[in-house]
Amino acid sequence: MRKLFAALALAAFAANPYAQETIKIGVITDRVGVSKPYSEPATEGIAFGVDELNRKGGILGRKIELLIEDDQSRPDISAALARKLIDQGAVFILSMSLTPATQQQQTVTMEAKTPQMTPMNSGDTLTTQLQNPYFWQTGPLGSIQIATLLAHARSKSLKRVALITDNSDLGQLLGRFFKAGLEKSGIQVVAEEVVPRGATTAAPQMQKIRAASPDAMFMAGVLTAENVLIFKAYRELGLKLPIHSSYNLSVPIYMTVAKGLINGVTFVDAYDPEKPEVKAFEAAYRKATGKEPFNLHGYGYDGINMVAEAIRRAGSTDKEKIREAMQGLTYSGVMGAKGMKYSFPEGKRAGYDPNGMVVRVYEGDKQGKVVHVGQK
Amino acid sequence: MQDFFELSLSAAASGCIYGLVALAYLLMIRPTGIINFAVGEWAMLGAFGGFLLLTKFEWPYPVGMAVVVALMLAVGWGTERLAVRPLMEKRAPLLAPILALLGMLVIFREAISVSFPPDPHPVPYAFEIQHQKYFIIAVSALVFAGFWFFFEKTLWGRSFEAVSLNRRAAALMGINLSRVTALSFAGGAGAAGLAGLLVSPNVSAHYLMGVPLAIQGFTALVIGGVGRVEGALLGGMLLAFAEQLTTRYAPIPSGYAQGVPLLFLMIFLLVRPTGLLRARAA
Amino acid sequence: MRLAAWLGAFAVLAALPFFLGSYHNDVYRKLLLWITLALGYNFLFGICGQVAFSHFAFYGIGAYSVVILLFQVGLPLPLAITLGVVICVALALAVAIPATRLEGFYLALVTLALAQLFIVVLNEGGAVTGGTGGIAGYRLPAVFGWRIAGPAYTVVIVFLMLATLALLLRLDGSWFGRACRAVRDNPEAAAAMGVDVARTKVIVFTLTSALAGVAGMVYAFVDNTVNPPIFGLDNAFLILFMVIVGGAGRHAGAVIGAILLFLLPFWLSPLVGHHHQLVFGLFVLAAILFQPKGLIGLWDRFSR
């Protein structure tokens, strides 16, 4: 009787093509902490991407299995979770949480020789602080953001500008790179202000900026509530300077929470709504989930598709082969300006094309068209 | 010079917010000795209440505001019943209710976090954006005046004072301790919720807004002293002015400017630990 | 506890990492460190009655000190460790001596301000502290030519935890421990009985902060990264939770509280998804309502 059972089981197993082992891809995201507003939509983009891939048969004939962990934006937990995913057999880890968390995970992936990628962190130091050949970053770097903003603002002949950011780690990092980029272009930063998390007003900082009479104001902050404080103080103090912002302003929440305050603000973005790939992505997402996607979903979607492509080209789930495939990958996805490709030339591991960002303007309360592309 | 005047107005408004949170702490500390750090989360609830009733359901401002305050009074009363009274009845050490309230802090915050999308939510102004500061100051003045009157002139207020001075003696004189405690929590929640509602048109309602407000309110309380209601307002004002004037005028890089109120506080504590205003002698 | 019992405990705890996978080893190490921190904090808060929020900041000061001294200044390991301890002691004294004039929640506030100031200094520290990104990519230098890593390093952490426990137990049982409890329960009476209240407070604060600093130094080589978010304020509250939920004033309570509250999110997360924090809050509330003196009370009831 037992032999018959075993034979039947084996037959059933062999007959089912999907009984093959899945390809496990780990995702470390934040479901409860400070990164949640960004991590949540981006991870939803990944989940959508995986569904799409699995419907088309998966990779190398095997289904993708997503192992999702929540690091609560706590970097020490992040590292432990990376180890957990590796122990569970993940061949690739996608880091969807804070920049310092991604950093922590790198010490683990470097030691365990496991490929890791962040499709949305923009901190420049992620690929330079540690020489980790298993780590790639395809989020738009802070240095690219400021260069693109400046290329657009070049026509306005800026000489003295103000820089304002917040005291989050990413805000400080972007602020540093923005300042460096500005000074490299020969522009003088006459006021540098910080709005701390939990502030009830940005009036003193904006007053200081007003007193310095700059030609324009650059925003490098990433905390939504604090950015809104800046806009409100700007309005209350009757300021009229042009505002140029980091990619943080591209998140659609500003259209509701900063209503009436952002007309004319320019910001860099990695999302061109007129791009055919974007239109197709939005339509497919809408159809599959009934919800409206925005740029954050796109980061996750591109991320998982690049990972899938790398595995496909490697032809196996051997981590070394995947690493080689990823390093040599050129990919064109949803994010970026028309025709942009991600690539990692000359052994670099930051893959966002330096000319791939676009500058957009808020028209009224709506995110307007692209007004500038790249760094030219 | 015009800068200074504008800044003073802004600092006064922020000072009122800190003062209201400090008042919330004070209302609960005085009769019971319990420090309730959940006041920050109560402010958050007030802000979200404002978002729901005023932005989403678009109720008229006065109605929405009144309902939010009423709901917060109920929340305060409920918190006391659930997390404090059982412990007081078991004669638990004072630490226990403080920790239970910290547990409630997490519960409030997470309840909001799972019920709403994670982004900040807009709350409308009472009038125009420029007038919000005056509105905050006016409402706070009314609230503080009301409480001052309550404590100084009414019989109930006097019984509060009696409980603060000596719980046992007050009970012996027939004052209903548990009612005083319940009322103090209700009042604290009302003050905190009001602070949240008033500040949220500027900072937006989001689930992480509680902890910074709790810390700032606590700092204001320590500066002003726990003894008198006016102390809370004074402490709030001093803290807000110190923060904003330093940011605006101090010739140090702005990253360090955040540290200045902290240093100011530490020095203050070493020089005058009981706060600026002492309680009235019995 | 007798020597045999200590050696036995050490043997069991130290052997464990060699049987665990890399993930469980990592969780185990961090758990041991949190237990160490909770034990120290329990002595400061539960036994001596001092409310302070700087415990975790000293953990960070220890970690950053040893990393900066080793890799930015280039000192040899023994000197770096010694100097790191000296820094923690000096800072603790600088805070404790003036703070003995304050009581109750005023000390809490000063230490809260210190903890926040620490983060501001880290962020603004430029090249010295690595600023917002912190310092990464270093390794524990070889000791006598031997590289301690992996499960062997966990043994070091086991040793740290047991040594801390032994020290605190010894102190608790001595005259000093009784003085601390007297200061906690009734400072005036303690003074009347000849206890130098101010000196006791200073010693306890400095000692426990230095212990936290040493734990921090050990931590620096667990993830081989130090950055400001790791040492943020939320963790200061978590230690308080651990000690109170477990049972303030009891060493076993600190251990139970640390184990429970550290591991709880790991257990809850796969079960409850993103509601795990909510469940955590409910758990803490329920624990306190059920056992206001701490969960150690349950153990007491069972062992009777």
Q: Tell me the average pLDDT across B243-272.
A: 76
Q: How confident is the model at residue B282 (pLDDT cuts 50, 70, 90)?
A: very low
| A31 within a domain of the structure (yes/no) | yes
Which positions ≥6 away from B78 have C-beta within 8 Å?
none
Interface residue ranges in chain A relative to chain B, Cβ cutoff 8 Å? 32, 34, 36-37, 40, 167, 172, 192-194, 196-201, 203-205, 207-208, 210-211, 224-225, 228-229, 232, 235-237, 251, 253, 256-257, 259
Cβ B110–A259 below 8 Å, yes or no? Answer: no
Q: Does A104 touch chain C (CB under 8 A)?
A: yes
Which range has highest mean pLDDT (A338-342, B70-74, C123-127)?
B70-74
Q: Measured between alpha carbons, how far is C84 from B63 in angstroms, rounded to an integer?
A: 59
Q: In terms of pLDDT, which residue wins out, C145 or C188?
A: C188
- The mean pLDDT of chain A is 88
Q: Is the pLDDT of residue B180 over 80?
A: yes
Cβ A80–C277 below 8 Å, yes or no? Answer: no
Neighbours of A58 (CB within 10 A): 18
Q: Tell me the average pLDDT across A194-201.
A: 88
Which positions ≥6 away from A208 have C-beta within 8 Å?
A191, A193, B247, B248
Q: How confident is the model at residue A12 (pLDDT cuts 50, 70, 90)?
A: low
Same domain flag for A61 and A167: no
pTM: 0.86
Cβ B265–C120 below 8 Å, yes or no? Answer: no
Q: Is the pLDDT of residue A284 over 90?
A: yes
- What are the pLDDT digits (tens) for C126-148? 778 887 778 887 888 877 777 78
| B215 within a domain of the structure (yes/no) | no
| C268 within a domain of the structure (yes/no) | no
Q: How confident is the model at residue B212 (pLDDT cuts 50, 70, 90)?
A: confident
Q: Does B262 touch chain C (CB under 8 A)?
A: yes
Q: Which residues in chain A are contacts of C133 at CB distance < 8 A?
A: 99-100, 103, 123, 125, 129, 169, 173
Of A105, B197, B210, B222, the residue nearest C233 (C-alpha): B210
Q: Tell me the average pLDDT across B129-140.
A: 89
Q: Where are the beta strands (DSSP E) in A61-128?
A: 64-70, 92-95, 116-118
Tell whether the torsion through CA atoms of B255, A253, A335 and A47 is positive or negative. positive
Tell whether the torsion through CA atoms of A20, A26, A31 and A36 is positive or negative. negative
Q: Does B228 touch chain A (CB under 8 A)?
A: no
Q: What percent of chain A has pLDDT over 90?
A: 54
Q: Measured between alpha carbons, how far is B89 from A72 in angstroms, rounded to an integer?
A: 36
Q: What stretch of H or E contains A135?
A: strand A135-137
Number of domains in chain B: 1
Q: Does B86 touch chain C (CB under 8 A)?
A: yes
Q: Measured between alpha carbons, how far is B51 from B38 in angstroms, rounded to an integer?
A: 20
Q: Measured between alpha carbons, how far is C11 from B186 in angstroms, rounded to an integer?
A: 55
Interface chains of chain A (3 or more CB pairs under 8 Å): B, C
Number of domains in chain C: 1
**Tokens matching residue B77:** 């009363």
Q: What is the pLDDT of residue C59?
A: 95
Cβ A75–C30 below 8 Å, yes or no? Answer: no
Q: In terms of pLDDT, which residue wins out, A3 or C267?
A: C267
The C-alpha R_g of chain C, in whole angstroms, comes to 19
| A348 within a domain of the structure (yes/no) | no
Same domain flag for A127 and A150: no
Q: Tell me the average pLDDT across B114-120.
A: 84
Of B131, B152, B123, the residue nearest B61 (C-alpha): B123
Q: How far is A313 from chain C (nearest CA, A)?
A: 30
Q: Is the pLDDT of residue A16 over 60?
A: no
User: Taking a C-beta distance cutoff of 8 angstroms, is the pair C152, C14 a contact?
Assistant: no
Interface probe for B, chosen from A40, A44, A201 (most Cβ of B below 10 Å), is A201
Q: Is the pLDDT of residue C191 over 70?
A: yes
Which 8-state DSSP code applies to residue C73?
S
Q: What is the pLDDT of residue A9?
A: 52
Which of A194, A200, A257 lies closest to B254 in CB terms? Answer: A194
Q: Measured between alpha carbons, how far is C283 from A369 in angstroms, rounded to an integer?
A: 50
Cβ B212–A197 below 8 Å, yes or no? Answer: yes
Residues in chain A: 376
Q: Is the pLDDT of residue A52 over 80?
A: yes
Q: Tell me the average pLDDT across A95-123.
A: 91
Q: What is the pLDDT of residue C82?
A: 92
Nearest CA in chain C to A81: C23
Q: What is the pLDDT of residue A3?
A: 58
Same domain flag for A241 and A367: yes
Which residues does residue A366 pair with via DSSP β-bridges, in sequence order?
A363
Q: In terms of pLDDT, which residue wins out, A19 or B45?
A: B45
| B195 within a domain of the structure (yes/no) | yes
Q: Tell me the average pLDDT across A140-147.
A: 90
| C278 within a domain of the structure (yes/no) | no
Same domain flag for A32 and A133: yes
Which positions ≥6 away from A72 have C-beta within 8 Å?
A30, A31, A32, A33, C265, C277
| C292 within a domain of the structure (yes/no) | no
Q: Which residues in chain C are contacts of A106 at CB distance < 8 A?
A: 136
Q: Tell me the average pLDDT across A145-169.
A: 86
Q: How confident is the model at residue C105 (pLDDT cuts 50, 70, 90)?
A: low
| A349 within a domain of the structure (yes/no) | no
Q: Tell me the average pLDDT across A245-250.
A: 92
Cβ B107–C112 below 8 Å, yes or no? Answer: no
Same domain flag for A207 and A265: yes
| C285 within a domain of the structure (yes/no) | no
| B281 within a domain of the structure (yes/no) | no
Q: How far is B160 from chain C (nearest CA, A)?
A: 22
| A352 within a domain of the structure (yes/no) | no
| C134 within a domain of the structure (yes/no) | yes
Backbone angles phi, psi at C197, to 5 degrees: -60, -45
3-state secondary structure chain C: CCHHHHHHHHHHHHHHHHHCCHHHHHHHHHHHHHHHHHHHHHHHHHHCCCCCCCHHHHHHHHHHHHHHHHHHCCCCHHHHHHHHHHHHHHHHHHHHHHHCCCCCHHHHHHHHHHHHHHHHHHHHCHHHHCHHHCEECCCCCCECCECCCCHHHHHHHHHHHHHHHHHHHHHHHCHHHHHHHHHHHCHHHHHHCCCCHHHHHHHHHHHHHHHHHHHHHHHCCCCCEECHHHHCHHHHHHHHHHHHHHCCCCHHHHHHHHHHHHHHHHHHHHHHHHHHHHHHHHHHHHHHHHCCCCCHHHHHHHCC
Q: Which amino acid is it at A307?
A: V
Q: Is A335 helix (H, G, I), strand (E, B) or coil?
A: coil
Q: What percent of chain C has pLDDT over 90?
A: 29
| A291 within a domain of the structure (yes/no) | yes
User: Taking a C-beta distance cutoff of 8 angstroms, is the pair C250, B101 a contact?
Assistant: no
Q: Is the pLDDT of residue A211 over 50?
A: yes
Question: What strand order describes the sheet that includes A23-29?
Answer: A64-70, A23-29, A92-95, A116-118, A135-137
| C129 within a domain of the structure (yes/no) | yes
- What are the pLDDT digits (tens) for A295-315? 999 999 999 999 999 999 999
Q: What is the pLDDT of residue C230?
A: 85
List the single range of B109-113, B125-129, B199-203, C100-104 with lowest mean pLDDT: C100-104
**Tokens matching residue A255:** 């259209």
Cβ C288–B262 below 8 Å, yes or no? Answer: no
Q: Which residues in chain A are contacts of C24 at CB distance < 8 A?
A: 87
**Tokens matching residue A205:** 């900082």
Same domain flag for A220 and A326: no
Q: Which residues in chain C are contacts of A173 at CB distance < 8 A?
A: 132-133
C241: left (phi over 0), alpha (psi -120 to 50) or beta: alpha
Q: Domain containing A75 — which CATH number?
A: 3.40.50.2300
List the domain range (segments joined by +) for residue B160.
Answer: 16-209
Q: Is B202 helix (H, G, I), strand (E, B) or coil?
A: helix
Cβ B113–C114 below 8 Å, yes or no? Answer: no
List the domain range (segments joined by +) for residue C109.
Answer: 3-231
Write out residues 271-300 of C within 8 Å (CB-CB) of B.
Answer: 274-275, 277-278, 280-285, 288-289, 292-293
**Tokens matching residue A32:** 């409860």
Same domain flag for A152 and A119: no
Q: Tell me the average pLDDT across A319-346.
A: 91
ipTM above 0.90, yes or no: no
| A1 within a domain of the structure (yes/no) | no
CA distances from C268 to A31, C227, C279 (A): 13, 27, 8
Cβ B269–C110 below 8 Å, yes or no? Answer: yes
Q: How far is A165 from chain C (nearest CA, A)?
A: 13
Q: How confident is the model at residue B39 (pLDDT cuts 50, 70, 90)?
A: very high
CA distances from C41 to A115, B191, C45, C56, C204 (A): 39, 34, 6, 9, 10
Which 8-state DSSP code applies to residue B53?
I
Q: What angle do CA B282, B225, B147 make, to 5 degrees?
A: 70
Q: Is B173 helix (H, G, I), strand (E, B) or coil?
A: coil
Cα distance from N-terminal residue to C-terminal residue, chain C: 20
Q: How many CA atoms lie within 13 A of B217 on its CB side?
A: 32
Q: Tell me the average pLDDT across A346-357.
A: 89
Q: What is the pLDDT of residue B281?
A: 47
Q: Is the pLDDT of residue A15 over 60?
A: no
Q: Measured between alpha carbons, how far is A375 from A55 in angstroms, rounded to an integer?
A: 39
Q: What is the pLDDT of residue A10?
A: 54
Going by DSSP bridges, is the β-strand pair A23-29/A64-70 parallel, antiparallel, or unpaired?
parallel
Interface probe for B, chosen from C54, C245, C288, C291 (most Cβ of B below 10 Å), is C288
| B184 within a domain of the structure (yes/no) | yes
Neighbours of B67 (CB within 10 A): 16
Number of domains in chain A: 2
Q: Is the pLDDT of residue A282 over 50?
A: yes
Q: How far is B110 from chain C (nearest CA, A)?
A: 5
Nearest CA in chain B to C126: B255
List the single range of A221-235, B246-260, C185-199, C226-240 with lowest mean pLDDT: B246-260
Backbone angles phi, psi at C11, to 5 degrees: -60, -45
List the single range of A99-103, B74-78, B196-200, C206-210 with lowest mean pLDDT: A99-103
**Tokens matching residue B120:** 């900040």
List the domain range (segments joined by +) for residue A230.
Answer: 143-269+358-373
Write out residues 207-246 of C within 8 Å (CB-CB) of A.
Answer: 223-225, 227-230, 234
Write out residues 66-125 of C within 8 Å (CB-CB) of B.
Answer: 98-99, 101-103, 105-106, 109-110, 112-114, 116-117, 120-121, 123-124
User: Taking a C-beta distance cutoff of 8 angstroms, is the pair B224, B277 a contact?
Assistant: yes
Q: Is the pLDDT of residue A18 over 70?
A: no
Backbone angles phi, psi at C294, to 5 degrees: 110, 155
Q: Measured between alpha carbons, how far is B179 from B233 in angstroms, rounded to an integer?
A: 26
Q: Could you identify the residue written with the tokens 């200074």?
A: B4
Q: What is the pLDDT of residue B255?
A: 65
